[in-house]
């Protein structure tokens, strides 16, 4: 780092000055003192330099380097600037690496940054469910009239403000058998760290049928709690037969006109309580032994207030084509939205064989009680990677804060501080000690 480089540079400079003065001493003894002030009186020997003078010189040199760097940037305005708060590898272990940059990861970065831990967030620049949510986020307190990417950008800026840095790579492996922990990236490089917060989330499992991808965020969703209100008084379709599908159907039945549940089998996999509750609803209808083959829609013209019709295209869902699994016959159901509820896949494969998984929820990390502590010392879990129940931006953000607090407590209990700063302090102390001893001799 700059501080370490300045320290080493100043050490070498002062050492050279000391050697020069040793060489001059024999000559000075033979010559008579001059009546005019000499350079030596203007530049005191090493033995007379105080600690305050040493720190002042460090600050002066840092200021000069900052000014030179600023002038260089001004001269090169046309060149591409590096990403803000980009991670710079260090010779010392990091105190915390956060894997994932959704609400859980960024919330952890804010809390860890405010605690002075200088967190490193490792994740590709694009990705995550909230990042890909183009519609407005309306169920996050204090935020409205903003989209998912807007929320992520605000969280990221706040994390940067408190000292977080970002590495835009993908983590491929974590080796917890050694200490510090080794985090390997898809670039082939690695980061050594004392702790890891896993905030990689869980991806929705999609149908992978024609029309599905094109209409995500425009009538196709995997979260009824998030997007159901957008289709108030309209006809919607839910795909799935498990607990998630029944929960989505029940949520939608409160606001939508009609809910059609398409089930691939002749029975539900959901718990009896949820299944009975859904079947009792008058506006929920089940279609058994069918699969979705295609989602149809089109582009509608959006009117912008004060400008008449806007030319910007916006898609909408109009119907869904389903097929009977035995006969192969198809039918088309008119609807305004399709909610896919066939499961989620946690992004935890890179921890395979190391961290214990939740026995009730495949792929999700197991944590201790209400904490973020996993089965491996120094590895913590936050957000949807450990939450198979709620999967909301706000609950993920809350668990990210919990993970950062757990990390801070772990580092304190194990006496793991900022090793780089400790090394610099030790160097300065040794320099001062050598200077004092030589001056006394």
Please identify every residue annotated as catalytic. 223, 226-227
Q: How far is C-alpha 220 from the chain's CA centre?
A: 26
- Are the C-beta atoms of residues 310 and 303 closer than 8 Å to each other? yes
Beta bridge partners of 193: 94, 181
How far CA 306 is from CA of 81, 136, 146, 303, 310, in Å, comes to 39, 21, 21, 9, 10
Identify the residue whose tokens are 């408190």: 162
**CA 233-239-243 angle, 5° bins:** 100
CA trace torsion 124, 128, 132, 136 (10° rounding): -130
**Rounded distance, CA 171 to CA 122, Å?**
7
Half-sphere exposure of 395 (CA within 13 A, CB side): 13
Summarize the chain as % helix, strand, coil (round to 5): 40, 25, 40
How far CA 54 is from CA of 1, 61, 219, 220, 424, in Å, comes to 18, 11, 65, 64, 13
Q: What is the DSSP string of 326-383?
A: TT--EEEEE-SEEEE-S-EEES-GGGTTTSPBPTTSTTPBP-STTS-B-SSTTEEE-G
Nearest Cα to Cα of residue 107 among 183, 197, 203: 197
Phi, psi of 376 (to 5 degrees): -110, 125
Identify the residue whose tokens are 């960024």: 106
**Rounded distance, CA 176 to CA 376, Å?**
8
């Amino acid at each position: 780092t700059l501080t370490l480089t300045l320290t080493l540079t100043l050490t070498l400079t002062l050492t050279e000055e000391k050697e020069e003065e040793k060489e001059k001493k024999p000559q000075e003894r033979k010559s008579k003192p001059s009546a005019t002030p000499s350079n030596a009186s203007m530049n005191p020997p090493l033995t007379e330099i105080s600690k305050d003078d040493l720190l002042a010189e460090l600050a002066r040199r840092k200021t000069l380097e900052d000014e030179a760097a600023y002038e260089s940037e001004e001269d090169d305005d046309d060149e591409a600037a590096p990403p803000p708060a980009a991670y710079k590898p260090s010779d010392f272990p990091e105190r915390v690496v956060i894997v994932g940059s959704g609400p859980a990861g960024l919330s952890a970065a804010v809390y860890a940054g405010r605690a002075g831990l200088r967190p490193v967030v490792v994740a590709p620049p694009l990705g995550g469910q909230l990042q890909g949510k183009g519609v407005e986020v309306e169920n996050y307190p204090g935020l409205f009239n903003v989209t998912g990417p807007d929320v992520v950008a605000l969280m990221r800026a706040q994390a940067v403000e408190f000292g977080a840095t970002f590495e835009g790579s993908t983590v491929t492996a974590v080796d917890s058998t050694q200490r510090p922990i080794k985090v390997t990236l898809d670039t082939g490089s690695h980061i050594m760290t004392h702790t890891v917060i896993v905030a990689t989330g869980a991806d929705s499992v999609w149908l992978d049928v024609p029309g599905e991808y094109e209409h995500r965020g425009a009538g196709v969703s995997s979260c009824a709690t998030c997007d159901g209100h957008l289709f108030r008084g309209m006809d919607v379709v839910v795909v799935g037969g498990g607990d998630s599908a029944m929960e989505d159907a029940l949520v939608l039945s409160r606001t939508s006109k009609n809910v059609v549940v398409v089930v691939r089998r002749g029975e539900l996999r959901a718990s009896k309580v949820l299944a009975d509750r859904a079947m009792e609803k008058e506006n929920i209808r089940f279609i058994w032994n069918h699969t979705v083959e295609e989602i149809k829609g089109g582009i509608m013209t959006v009117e912008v207030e004060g400008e008449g019709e806007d030319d910007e295209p916006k898609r909408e869902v109009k119907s869904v084509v389903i097929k009977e699994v035995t006969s192969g016959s198809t039918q088309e159901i008119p609807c305004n939205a399709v909610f896919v509820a066939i499961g989620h896949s946690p992004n935890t494969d890179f921890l395979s064989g190391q961290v214990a998984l939740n026995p009730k929820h495949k792929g999700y990390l197991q944590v201790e009680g209400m904490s973020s502590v996993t089965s491996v010392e120094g590895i913590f879990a936050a957000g949807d990677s450990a939450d198979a129940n709620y999967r909301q931006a706000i609950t993920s953000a809350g668990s990210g804060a919990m993970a950062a607090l757990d990390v801070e407590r772990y580092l304190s209990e194990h006496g793991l501080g900022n090793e780089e700063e400790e090394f610099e302090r030790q160097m300065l102390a040794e320099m001062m000690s050598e200077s004092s001893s030589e001056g006394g001799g």
